[in-house]
Amino acid sequence: QITLKESGPMVVKSTQTLTLTCTLSGFSLSTSGVGVAWIRQPPGKALEWLALIYWNDDKRYTPSLKSRITITRDTSKNQVVLTMTNMDPVDTATYYCAQNRQVYGLDVWGQGTTVTVSS
C-alpha cells in the first residue's frame, strides 16, 4: 500500500524558514518514472502546485516561488523535503505531498499538514 505522510511545524514566524518532510511508504523515489510533488491550499482557497522532484533528481518549481523554495530527497530515508524561506502570513496553508506519476496524475496524496505563519 502506497502512503505519504507530511510532517513539520504547525506554526512558524514571519521571515523564518519552513522545512516540511514527506515520508514515503510502499514505493521508492529511486524507481524510474516516479516523482513526488508538493501542493498547498490556503484556507478556503484552491490548490497550488509548488514543486516536484523526479526519480532522477530532476526538479521543477512554480515560477512565482522559485526563489524561495527548495525540494530535495533522501533516498536512504525515503523522504522528500521542502524548504521555503522568508515565510509570510500569506503562506498560511495546508501543505500536501503526493506521488507524481506524470501521465497518470498525482495518484496518491498525503493527509496534509497545516502551517500557520504568525506575524
Residue numbers of the site for another protein (CB under 8 A)? 37, 39, 46-49, 51-52, 60-63, 96, 102-112
For 40, 42, 81, 105, the CA distances from 114, given in Å and listed in that order, are: 9, 9, 16, 23
Q: Nearer to another protein by C-beta: 49 or 55?
A: 49
CB nearer to another protein: give 3 or 16. Answer: 3
For residue 26, what is the DSSP state? S
Residues 111 and 28: their CA atoms lie apart, in Å, by 19
CB of 29 to another protein, least distance (A): 17
Rounded least distance, CB 43 to another protein, Å: 12
Angle ∠(9,13,16) on CA atoms, nearest 5: 85
C-beta of 13: minimal distance to another protein in Å? 26
Which residue, 37 or 115, is less far from another protein as judged by CB? Answer: 37
Helix or strand or coil: residue 7? strand
